[in-house]
Structures are given as C-alpha cells and as structure tokens.
C-alpha cells in the first residue's frame, strides 16, 4: 500500500488488529535495508505484516480495509511515493487467503466507484523482513512528522476522491 508508516497506522486503528509491523517483502535481496529498498534495487515492496484476532475481525474485513486505504488505480506508486518498492500488493500466505484476496478483487472490479484499471497485485508471500526499529510505530513515535508527511503526500485527499473516505 505504499508507505508502510501509513499502512501500519491505518491497520493499527482497526478493532481486532493486534499488531501491524512495517517491513519489506516480495524481492530478491536477503535482509534488505530501508536505504536499499527505498532506492529500488532490492525488488522488495514496503509492506506491513498484520497480526489479528479472527474472533474480532475477519481476513475479508482486513482486505476491505486495505482496499480503502490505498489507490489501486496506479502501478508502481502510491500517492507521492514512486517506484516498484511502493507498489500496492496483497501478499497471501496460503490458498485460503489467495481465494479471499481474489474474491475481494473480483468484487471490487464489479463495484468500484472509479473507472480506472486496478493495478494491485496478489502475490504469494515470501520472506518478510522487519524494517528497522525507527520505522516501527512511526506515527505514534513521531506524530508531527508523520502527519506532515501524510498530508504533504496527499494520501487522505486522494482516498477521499476515490473512496469518499472521511479525511
């Protein structure tokens, strides 16, 4: 979903999410750093691993929240961040998750409130590398910088245009 700070923060606000962890996945470099990943040379995407209580929130509800927290109409970017490291993707762990993710994509294609093509990928999960500690819970640890970044990047404004989300 682009910047992992924003995705992590969005998921941590959901009832039933136990923890969201920023990291990197989907690439070819072992143990990538932020510096290498943000430069675009690792093949990894900034990603968030979500741990949740299935008795309080379902995987399908997490998928719905994901779709409405991203701009699925752009390839290899999200908001002001550009490059394949900011691509939107759903990294599935098993066949059940793949079926649910593919069903959510089909439903979005059927009901989407926009005319554009959907570029979000559904990929098999590969090794997830946790991002450096200073990236974890960035919105909580650095609220002023985080909010300046999020607003300056136009994330909420664009989400409002696409989904009608409240800013």
- Give the residue numbers annotated as catalytic, written as ranges: 3
148 closest CA partner among 158, 138, 135: 138
Helix axes 59-67, 4-12, angle to 10 degrees: 130
Of 54, 56, 55, 31, the closest CA to residue 42 belongs to 31
| The token pair that represents 144 in the structure block | 């002023």
DSSP code, position 133: G
Cβ neighbours of residue 4 under 8 Å, at least 6 residues apart? 22, 23, 46, 47, 48, 131, 135
Q: Give the three-class secondary structure for 57.
A: coil
The Cα–Cα gap between 109 and 92 comes to 19
């Amino acid at each position: 979903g682009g910047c992992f700070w924003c995705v992590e923060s969005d998921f941590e606000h959901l009832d039933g999410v136990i923890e969201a962890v920023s990291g990197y996945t989907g690439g070819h470099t072992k143990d990538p750093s932020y510096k290498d990943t943000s430069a675009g040379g690792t093949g990894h995407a900034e990603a968030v691993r979500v741990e949740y209580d299935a008795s309080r929130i379902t995987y399908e509800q997490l998928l719905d929240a994901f779709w409405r927290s991203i701009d699925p109409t752009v390839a290899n970017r999200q908001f002001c961040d550009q490059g394949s490291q900011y691509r939107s993707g759903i990294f599935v762990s098993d066949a059940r998750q793949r079926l649910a993710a593919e069903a959510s994509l089909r439903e979005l294609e059927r009901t989407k409130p926009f005319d554009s093509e959907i570029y979000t990928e559904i990929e098999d999960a590969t090794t997830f590398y946790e991002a450096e500690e200073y990236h974890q819970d960035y919105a909580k640890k650095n609220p002023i910088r985080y909010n300046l970044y999020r607003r300056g990047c136009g994330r909420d404004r664009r989400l409002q245009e696409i989904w009608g989300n409240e800013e």
